[in-house]
Every structure is written in C-alpha cells, then in structure tokens.
Structure 1
C-alpha cells in the first residue's frame, strides 16, 4: 500500500489544463475518477479536457463523428458547473478533434463543435509519428510530416478566425516542423503538449543526454514564436522510457527524473506561457495525482509567487480563456 504524501501549499488554486475522460472497460476514467483525483487535497479549481477519441457518434458522416466527444464532455462540464459535485469546474475548457486533412472543409466541422458547447476552445489532431516500429503512432493515425501537408495547412487557416487554438502532440524529432508551422501562422495559438514528446525507447533508448541536448535546441527555437504555449507534464509515459516501475514515483523522484526538462522549458517560454498539466489518467500508471502536483509545486518553489500563479493556474486560464477563479 502506497502512503500518500502530505499536500504542499494546499490552498494554491490550480487549473489542470490536460486530462482525458474515457469509459474503457478495464480502466474507466469518468467523472467519479476525475473527482477522486482532483479531490486528493490540492486546490484544483478547474480543468481542461483534451480529446482522446471518446464517445464518438456511431453513425453519420465520418468527419462529424468526433462531435459526439464534445457533446459528451459538455455534459460532464454541465454536471460540474451545477455545483452538485463540488466547486471544481471540471472540463471548463474543451479541446476536441477535427480531421485537419479535410482542408478548408474543416471549417464547417469546427462551427458545429462550437455550436455544441460554449466551452469549446480548440482542437488537437495528433501528429506523433516515428518510423521505429517500437514507437506507437498516435490514435488519430497521422501520416508522416502531417503538420507540413498542404491539406493540413489549408485547415489550419480556419482556426484563428474562429478564435480556436491548436494543441500539438508530436515527438521530439518533429519539433522543427511545429516551429515552421508556428512561424507560418503567427496569429494562431499553438499549445505544445508534453514537452514535445522526448522519446526514450527503441532506437532512442539509453541516449537521454543526447536527446535532451537536441530537444533544448529545438525548444529554444519554438519558444521564440510568441504564439506558442507549453504544457509541462506528460513525461511519465512509456514512450519517454519509463518502464518497469515497481511502485508509483513520489514527488522527489519525479523532480529528480524530469526536473531538468521543466526548468529549461520555463527558462525559454517564461512562466506566462507555461502551464503544469497532469496528463491523467495516462500518467496515473506511474504516479498519483497528489504526488504529481507536489512535484510541480517543488519545481515552482524557486520562482516568485506571481510566477507560481502563472505556472499553476493563470497561464492555463489565459490560454484557454477560462473564467478566472477568485
């Protein structure tokens, strides 16, 4: 049995800008599970849901089936905002999916997402791809060089006029392509997920120092684009090289293993463009919610109180245009 940690700075308001909901038979993560984690003792006041292929419509045009996910999550958000489940505003922002290979036709899909929920803030079409067979391509099955394809960029044009952002999930060898995209569309908000996915398995195993140096160069170039925000979290996935853990990591172990990524990203983007994220329930395989946010607070402790506010709450609220908690 794991002994839970004492919560650090329990009154500090937190916004968790990246979690999923799904009803997988073996490991469901629905509102009760989310409330159990966010209610662990940290003061989580709001969250942002990010697409994961949940509750798609079972019929109708393929391009419109992802609307089911927005409908589902908006219902969960309405449950939270009712106050019947506590004061935490779960899913106060929704990042859904639209097929960016539709080109300019994606605009009609985006409009329907927006009509289904006033909480809809943007889309994520994962680009994570690597030729190594050991590395899993993301659930949306992207082609290689997705971000640079003409159809994708024709679709990308449709985001900014609708006030929508783009969440980017990719692997570290693809960071240069994201920088090209950010430079080409300076008026579109882009949110880098999970530090840009530094890989640690397959041909990348055992090369952590070299990969970190390469990642530093690419992230510094990306951070020079003022329209890009960074989500800081998601480094405890198998693809990062985390394997065979016999027990969950505690906060100090998380900081020791990953803190150098956090400190460098914050130095490049600044606290006003960085936000801590749980990536739950994916990272739940290797740590508890309480330990993860304790780790974040330990990392943030060397910054000013104002900067801690940005990292823990204010950046996420500003980026996803959520109502700021008192």
Structure 2
C-alpha cells in the first residue's frame, strides 16, 4: 500500500538554511525510525547525516516500523529481526539508537511473554519498550500508516492482557492513537497503573477528513483528552509528529520549506497544551524522522523546539530535550 507520508526531497529542503540555535543544548532524539523501503532508504547512515547538521544530538531512541522482520521461523518471533537489523545498521554508532522500542503482538495476550523475553535476550539492555500499530479512524482520509490498524485493538481484552505483560517485563508501552481514541488510551492506562504509557505525537490532533480546518471544537476535544491522560501518573507524552499528513499541515506543498520560526508559531497551541498538562518532567521532544522529513528539515525541527522552549529555565529544557526520555526508558546517555 502506498505510503501516506510526504515525499522526502533533499533539493527542496536545501532551499532554506538557518543557523543552529542554542548549539550547546544536549539532545536525545526520543523517537525516530530507520528503514530501507521502496519509498526510500533511511538507515543509520542517513540518520547520522541529519544529526551531523549542527544540533548536539548525542543519542536517540528507535521506534518500531516493521523494518527487517525475519523471513522464517515462528510468526511471533519474526519481529526480532527488526532489533537485529537496527543493531546491525548501527554497529558503528552505538548511541544511535541508545534504546529500541520494538514490536510484539499484544493481541497474543499473556502468551506475548515469550516474545518479550526473546526480544530482551537478543539485545540485553537495548529493548526498552513495545509499540503496536493502533491508530484507527473509519474515514479513509485519516491514515498515517501504510497498513492501518483495525478498529478496537486498544479496547480488546487480549491487548490489555498483553500490555500487562509489558509492564511485568519492566518495559514501557508507546501508543500512537488519534485524538478520537484518547478515551481508549486513558482506559488502558487507568486499568494498568504499573505500566508506563507513552503517548506518541501529541496524542494525534487531527486536521484532515472530518477534522479538516481544525475547528475550535476539535481542538477543545483534543485538549480535553490530553488533560485527562495527564491526570494519570503513569502517562508520558512525546511532543512532535507535526509532519504527519493527518495533522493537516501541508508544508510540502509550498515552494520553499518552512523556517523554524514558522514551525514554532504553527505548533505553539499544541505544544503549550501538552506542556501545561504534563509538565516538562513528563514530556519529551521527538523528531519522528524520516516520516516528518518530507515536511521540514532536521535543523528547522530542533530550532523550532528550541524557540518554543526558550521561555523555560535550563532544567526544564534539559528535561524536554533529553532527561525525561532517558528516565522514561531507563537509558543512561552518559552525561548529566
């Protein structure tokens, strides 16, 4: 199935250059992918080329995206190939990634324990969390995955049983869900207080399909969902994903790529809402590259986050740029 992501055009991105803001700010990129697909190649080398553009990105967290599954063996263990592939690609750059959010089919319920144990065994200390494909909306215009999830995964009893095993294994659960699913995420997090639930991409504020135009009522509904999730102490949020087409941004259609000042202005209402609800100690910035790379450059992305966090103190900025991610996933980046 055709990718829903904006096409990466290096020549278009190169049309805008800007200096690195706050170059001394240490960063742990809390969410990125690696792949080698028909739509393009973005392995560790390509990621490091983006990292090398000037921001002090010292480590990263890889998040599953169906890369390099095993071709043979038990179905439940085929996702181990993703961890093996990523570690192979990153052999010469051990901090990129410093940790991995892998895939294990939580619909296997309590039986997923075997897969979790196998994942942790092949890469001791590297696998720090699990994520499944769960973002669903009935409107075909709302699609952020080449293989959209079916309805009901987050509500399924088996999924909840599998998520309980994630907690028992000492791992986190990343959840990518649209704003229309935040009540389901809340119910899951409420039912499993020992499970750390990380809400990806600002909780999926939508701007396409029935949400095209982003009415005040749509924004208010998303904000209420975020506030209810933030009331649960076992939740965290990743701030980013603004290059996902479902957000409704269309930077890729403009003659010139966006500046960090434009991005900061556009993203401010959502970022401020997330920070007011979760605080810097439970929020973290993410690049979501290469998914978002079709919309803006790595330099502009982190400059935008730096602009948005400028009013905060250094301790709060450090939490957003690296410390919250390190603490959430149990990572030791090697700096203080």
TM-score range, shorter chain: over 0.9
Cross-structure match for 2:11: none
Work out whether residues 175 and 199 of structure 2, in 8 Å CA contact, stay in contact via their aligned partners in 1. yes
Runs (4+) off by over 4 Å: none
Q: Partners of 1:15 and 1:208 in 2: how far apart?
A: 34
| Structure 1 counterpart of 2:93, from 74, 80, 101 | 80
Q: Partners of 1:143 and 1:26 in 2: how far apart?
A: 24
Kindly report the root-mean-square deviation, in angstroms, between the aligned alpha carbons of the 2 structures: 1.3
Q: Partners of 1:207 and 1:294 in 2: how far apart?
A: 25
Alignment gaps of 5+ in structure 1:
82-88
Cross-structure match for 2:328: 319
Work out whether residues 260 and 301 of structure 2, in 8 Å CA contact, stay in contact via their aligned partners in 1. yes
Work out whether residues 45 and 325 of structure 1, in 8 Å CA contact, stay in contact via their aligned partners in 2. no
Mean Cα deviation higher: 202-211 or 304-313: 202-211
Give the 3-state SS of the residue equivalent to 2:305 in structure 1.
Answer: helix
1:146 deviation in Å?
Answer: 1.1
| Structure 1 counterpart of 2:101, from 89, 95, 102 | 95
Work out whether residues 232 and 275 of structure 1, in 8 Å CA contact, stay in contact via their aligned partners in 2. yes
Mean Cα deviation higher: 24-33 or 265-274: 24-33
Question: Are positions 1:60 and 2:66 aligned together?
Answer: no
Cross-structure match for 1:294: 303
Cross-structure match for 1:20: 33
Work out whether residues 199 and 238 of structure 2, in 8 Å CA contact, stay in contact via their aligned partners in 1. yes
Cross-structure match for 1:183: 190
Work out whether residues 16 and 257 of structure 2, in 8 Å CA contact, stay in contact via their aligned partners in 1. no
Q: Partners of 2:214 and 2:32 in 1: how far apart?
A: 29
Q: Partners of 2:332 and 2:264 in 1: how far apart?
A: 30
Alignment gaps of 5+ in structure 2:
1-13
Question: Are positions 1:133 and 2:107 aligned together?
Answer: no
Cross-structure match for 1:303: 312
Work out whether residues 44 and 90 of structure 2, in 8 Å CA contact, stay in contact via their aligned partners in 1. no
1:156 deviation in Å?
Answer: 1.1
Question: Aligned pairs, how many?
Answer: 319
Mean Cα deviation higher: 204-213 or 281-290: 204-213
| TM-score normalized by the length of structure 2 | 0.92
Cross-structure match for 2:3: none
Cross-structure match for 1:259: 268
1:141 deviation in Å?
Answer: 4.0
1:233 deviation in Å?
Answer: 0.2
1:121 deviation in Å?
Answer: 0.5
1:264 deviation in Å?
Answer: 1.0
Cross-structure match for 1:85: none
1:25 deviation in Å?
Answer: 3.5
Q: What do residues 178-212 of structure 1 show as CA deviations (whole Å, max 9, x unaligned)? A: 01111111110111000111111111111342221
Q: Partners of 1:3 and 1:241 in 2: how far apart?
A: 22
1:75 deviation in Å?
Answer: 2.4
Q: Partners of 2:131 and 2:239 in 1: how far apart?
A: 17
Question: Are positions 1:173 and 2:186 aligned together?
Answer: no
Give the 3-state SS of the residue equivalent to 2:97 in structure 1.
Answer: strand
Work out whether residues 125 and 140 of structure 1, in 8 Å CA contact, stay in contact via their aligned partners in 2. no
Q: What do residues 129-179 of structure 1 show as CA deviations (whole Å, max 9, x unaligned)? A: 001121226456432121111110111110112111100001000001101
Q: Partners of 1:258 and 1:315 in 2: how far apart?
A: 20
Question: Are positions 1:249 and 2:258 aligned together?
Answer: yes
Cross-structure match for 2:219: 212
